[in-house]
Amino acid sequence: MDQAGDSLDRTWLDRIWSALDGDPGLTERVRITGPLGLLPSVYEVGALATASVAAATLAVAELGARRLWTAVPDVEINRLAAAAAFRSEALLRPVGWQAPPIWDPIAGDYQAVDGWIRLHTNYAYHRAAALRALGLEDTDLVEREQVAARVRRFQAQDLEQQVVNAGGCAAALHTVEEWADHPHGTVAGGQSAIRLERRSVSVDRALPKPGVGREPGAGWEAAGGGPLAGIRVLDLTRVIAGPVCTRTLAAWGAEVLRIDPPGFAEVPALLPETTAGKHCAALDLRDDEGRFRFAALVGEADVIVHGLRPGALTGLGFSDQALRRLNPGVCIAAIDAYGWAGPWANRRGFDSLVQFSCGIAAAGGAAAGSDRPVPLPAQALDHATGYLLAAAICRGLTGRYDGLAPANVRGALVGTANLLIGQPVSPSEGAPAEPGPGSAEPDYEALTTQRDTFWGSVTAVPQPGTIRGAKGSWRVSAGPLGRDRPIFTV
């Protein structure tokens, strides 16, 4: 084993576990195996993948052990499996059918008068907003070359603001140094990737216990369903980061119910990956009947996870305080792109846009000797934040056994970006920003397994990590949104 690589992974894991207020001795339960040098970048993406998956898996193991009053079992993380998980949406392969493309045809990087800008147009309403800002009609006939010609008329930051004002999503390219002086960057630079807020107050609501009546000291496997069996999760997340969190909880036994507005159109190519393990229902929270049903679900849930912008749920009458009145024992977890304070706290954002804003894409281009932005080799901010959010939720639930009140958990993509920016690869030790000519892709395909979905079979990346040798798995097949009744089944 490469001692330097193992030390790096453990340094990252210890740092993350400390931020989650975890028992430092428990990280000794984690065994890390597999090759180094994965997900090459100017930043330590491979170490982030390994450590964030390890933290989530360890937190699941700790919670499962606490629920059964047993010792925390051993956890094993394979670096190749963690790296593959960070690229799971790109590695998914339909078997005998064709999935739509992940990216809208006009999404991507464009050269403006004074630099680069990225347009995010995967949602129809974001595409329409970007084209409005450019003075183009939103039709299927719009071609990328037309968009590029219009973008070249604008200053990058002026166009960014116009797209945002129109209700869309865009990001002008900054260097790390420019971001540090930016009005939002000066605030967001101090944003943590994850924040776990707890109080020393108990509540009169016990978490469900799997395996009631079993012999004391037996493992959670004997209870059936995994270490999180019986825990109910209300999922109001979209795209990648939030779904990675709730999919991780589902893989280890939690019952996850995803709620979307009626007719909501998620990125279709992602659904076979992001809905694995979940029931999916539709509720209109602007409608009295939908609000009543949602309030009932809140009362039954152990965890609520949402990726809505700050204030969105409050505007619908479901602030944190209102949710606590409905259910004093619920853990409330929220994820945001640009952080929870500063002028961009309410700005729509995605992984690729945050990479553009905070300097990651510029640093990648500089390290690769490219005149274009070079992003990370995976949607690493999304995936890492999703695993960290799952870890924090489990740590928050574990705190219930120590007499602590239900937790508030907050995650931010820009906070995860701060983790990476603070730990660049050493020029003498690090991997290149991009694989060089002739570089072989790691054999991720060897890790994939076949599973059924509503649309047909796929080969896909399994849940990474093992607990006492057992793997997590999804008992509910991926499928369309809104297909199920809005009820918990357990």
Give the number of other CB atoms < 10 A from CB of residue 343.
Answer: 13
Q: What is the pLDDT of residue 218?
A: 44
How far apart are alpha carbons 454 and 207 in whole angstroms? 32
pLDDT in tens, 40-57: 999 999 999 999 999 999
- Provide the pLDDT for residue 219: 52
Neighbour tally for 392: CB within 10 Å: 31
pLDDT (tens digit per residue) in 210-259: 543 333 334 555 455 799 999 999 999 999 999 999 999 999 999 999 99
Q: How many CB atoms lie within 10 A of CB 176?
A: 17
Instruction: Give residue 327's pLDDT.
Output: 95
The answer to whether 297 and 289 are in contact (CB under 8 A) is: no
Residue with the two structure tokens 């499996």: 81
Q: Does 198 have pLDDT greater than 80?
A: no
More confident residue, 403 or 381: 381
Q: Mean pLDDT across the stretch 378-384?
A: 98
Q: Which residue ranges form the domains of the chain, and what is each CATH number? A: 3-99+188-342+373-471 (3.40.50.10540)
75-100: pLDDT as tens digits: 999 999 999 999 999 999 999 999 99
| % of the chain beyond a pLDDT of 90 | 82
Strand (E) or helix (H) holding 271:
helix 271-274
Over residues 337-351, the mean pLDDT reads: 94
Say if residue 455's pLDDT is above 80.
yes
Q: How far apart are CA 419 and CA 191, in angstroms?
A: 10
Reply yes or no on whether the pLDDT at 435 is more than 50.
no
What local confidence, expressed as pLDDT, does residue 441 receive? Answer: 76
CA-closest candidate to residue 349, choices 304, 411, 392: 411
Q: 296, exposed or middle or buried, with CB in 10 Å at 0-12, 13-18, 19+?
A: middle
| pLDDT one-digit tens code per residue, 175-188 | 999 999 999 999 99
pLDDT at 141 (0 to 100): 85
Structure confidence at residue 221 (pLDDT): 54
β 232-236/194-197 pair status: unpaired
Percentage of residues of the chain with pLDDT beyond 70 = 91
Q: What is the pLDDT of residue 272?
A: 97
Q: Is the pLDDT of residue 434 over 50?
A: no
Q: Which residues pair with 279 in a beta bridge?
A: 257
**DSSP assignment, residue 234?**
E
Q: What is the mean pLDDT of residues 116-128?
A: 96
pLDDT over 60 at 155, yes or no? yes
Q: What is the pLDDT of residues 271-304, one digit of tens each?
A: 999 999 999 999 999 999 999 999 999 999 999 9
| Contact of 381 with 355, CB cutoff 8 Å | yes
